[in-house]
Chains A and B, each alone.
Chain A
Amino acid sequence: MERAVHDRGGWPTDEPIDRREHELADWELLTDALFGACARAGLMNVDELRRSIESMPREQYEHAAYYERWAFSIEQVLTEKGVIATGEVDARL
Chain B
Amino acid sequence: MTFEVGQRVRVRAREHRGHHRTPGYLKGRTGTIERYHGTFTNPETRAYGESGLPEKALYLVRFDEDDRIYADVYEHWLEAE
Contact = CB atoms under 8 A, between A and B. Distances in A.
B5 interface: no
B73 to A, nearest CB: 13
Q: State which size class the interface on B falls in.
A: 10 to 19
A3 B47 contact: no
Main SS at interface, chain B: loop
Given A47-B43, A50-B19, A1 B24 contact: yes
Given A45-B46, A47-B52, A7 B13 contact: no
B27 A1 contact: yes
Contact of A48 (B18, B23, B24, B49): B49
B42 to A, nearest CB: 9
Q: State which size class the interface on A falls in.
A: 10 to 19
B15 A47 contact: no
A1 B23 CA distance: 12
Contact of A9 (B24, B43, B47): B24
